Amino acid sequence: MAKATRSVNENENENKNKNESEEKNLRKTTAKRALGFTDELPAAEPRRSKRIKSDHVPKQYEQVKVKREKKEKKEKKVKKEKKDVKLEDDASLLRVKAETDSNDSGSDNKLATPTKTKIASADLQAKKLKSYSQFAAARQSPYPDFPRPLPAECKLAHSILASLHGERKRPEEDGLTTTAPSSRAGCGDSASVLDALVRTILSQNTSDANSSRAKLSMDAAYGGSDAWAAIAAGGEAKLAKTIESGGLASVKSKVILNILHQTREKYGVYSLDHLFRSSSDEAMRELIAFKGVGPKTASCVLLFCLRRPSFAVDTHVHRITGLLGWRPAAATRDQTHAHLDARIPDDDKYGLHVLLVRHGRECEECRAGGKSLGRCELRRAFRKGKVEGKAGEELREDEVRHIKAEEDDVDDDVKG
């Protein structure tokens, strides 16, 4: 009897649930029809349609894309222009290295043909001469609206640096003659133009210690500092092995041998001493015509060996003159050379170059990676001009940030 009762109750519950489910489905169907939906259009479809982007969104994306493409195109154009102008010594070496790699890659490589190599060399020479002729040869700055450094500023900087590191004069001013150092490579320090040029090439993109080791190794291997015939006959592999301590040995060896071969072929001897009788312009043009020799290397030979007023710009000079606001912030080393060679008085070029290099190696604030602490006498002397905006807006803002940081450090020290 109890089982029969439970069965009846279960049947009633099932019928009740079934009726409720049917009523629920009926209400849903009625609601769909009221909204205009049919069985062929699932309810999920309008939810997807809500996620469809409006018509103006793609246009916005298209505008952003166009702006980005224009910006990228402009940046590429600026980079290309800088690349065409930047003909520094390291860039010359890298071009030589690229040609060397192409020649070593096999005879199937079309770029390895002598004709291609000669064309590339002629193009590089033409670009270097064009860059030099535009400004340096005419003693004009590529930045005519950038007046610094003024002659008085050069005198002031020279005086400050001399007080910090000692005065630097040409050897002949002290009754001495230029002699090649026996214990180091130097940078143009030789009475022989060819020797001065080779020493300067060895000093490219490396430290004095490394270039000196390379020069001493070369002298020991070939039996002297001017054994040019033995060096030329020994070939590239031997020379590269000999000077490997100086870095970029395979590239530098190719540059040196190329200079030796061209010099012997043109003049019948291993000598460039005829440049002592040439004008500074003629000497510069002949030197930078060599593959792997840029304005910095040639300027060093003119300054130290030929004893001409030429302001060489190495990494230290480029960095410090930027800190002083003596050049535009974006100026390359070649552009800086042309600008400063036109702005700095001739009688300050030798001493100022030597002292700036010395200062760039020894000053804690002005050396590579140094932090401005407000204690460098040279930078303090020129800070006022930078803050007043004479060095350009970017350098002015940078100096203002330095001043604020130093003031904050002082406040922290006082509070501490």
Taking each helix axis from N to C end, the angle separating 393-415 and 377-387, rounded to the nearest 10 degrees, works out to 120
The DSSP code for 135 is I
Give the pTM: 0.66
Q: Buried b vs exposed e over 115-134: b needs ≥16 C-beta within 10 Å?
A: eebeebbeebeeebbebbee
* Distance, CA of 41 to CA of 32 (rounded, Å): 10
C-alpha angle 296-291-82 in degrees, rounded to nearest 5 = 60
Going from N- to C-terminal start, the domains of the chain cover: 121-170+309-384, 175-306
pLDDT computed for residue 387 by the predictor: 46
Please list the pLDDT of the chain residue by residue as tens digits (416 residues).
Answer: 555 555 656 666 667 666 677 777 777 666 666 655 555 544 444 455 445 445 454 555 666 677 777 777 766 655 554 444 344 455 555 555 544 444 443 333 333 455 555 566 667 677 777 777 776 666 789 999 999 999 999 999 999 999 999 998 887 665 556 666 666 777 777 889 999 999 999 998 888 899 999 999 999 999 888 899 999 999 999 999 999 999 999 999 999 999 999 999 999 999 999 999 999 999 999 999 998 899 999 999 999 999 999 999 999 999 999 999 999 999 999 899 999 999 999 999 999 999 999 999 999 999 988 888 889 999 988 876 554 444 445 555 555 565 555 555 544 443 44
d(CA 266, CA 244): 29
Per-residue confidence (pLDDT) for residue 22, from 0 to 100: 72
At 366 the three-state DSSP class reads coil
Q: How many CB atoms lie within 10 A of CB 314?
A: 21
> Which CATH number applies to 121-170+309-384?
1.10.1670.10
In a 13 Å sphere around the CA of 90, the CA atoms on its Cβ side amount to 11
Amino acid at 238: K
Report how far apart the first and last C-alpha atoms of the chain are (Å, whole number).
95
Tokens of 73: 């195109």
Query: What pLDDT sits at residue 25?
Result: 73
| Contact in structure between 365 and 405 (CB atoms under 8 Å) | no
Could you identify the residue written with the tokens 């002290």? 174
Q: Find out whether the peptide bond into 149 is cis, omega within 30 degrees of 0.
A: yes
- Give CATH for domain 175-306: 1.10.340.30
Total length of the chain: 416
For residue 30, give the amino acid letter. Answer: T
What is the C-alpha to C-alpha distance for residues 150 and 345, in angstroms, rounded to an integer?
9
Q: Which two tokens stand for residue 267?
A: 């003049």
124, 92 in Cβ contact below 8 A? yes
* CA gap 85, 78 in Å, rounded: 11
pLDDT of residue 34: 60
Amino acid at 300: C
- Say how far apart CA 203 and CA 16 lie, in whole Å: 100
At 224 the pLDDT is 83
The tokens describing 305, both together, are: 């060996």
Q: How far apart (Å, rounded) are the C-alpha atoms in residues 259 and 182?
A: 22
Nearest to 125 by CA among 341, 313, 304, 294: 294
Q: What is the 3-state secondary structure (H, E, C) of 267-328?
A: HCCCCCHHHHHCCHHHHHHHHHCCCCCCHHHHHHHHHHHCCCCCCCCCHHHHHHHHHHCCCC
Q: Which of 128, 252, 291, 296 is catalytic?
A: 296
Question: What pLDDT is recorded for position 178?
Answer: 63
Give the single-character DSSP code of 363: -
Q: Hunting for tokens 């001399």 — which residue is that? A: 162
The DSSP code for 150 is P
296 is catalytic: yes
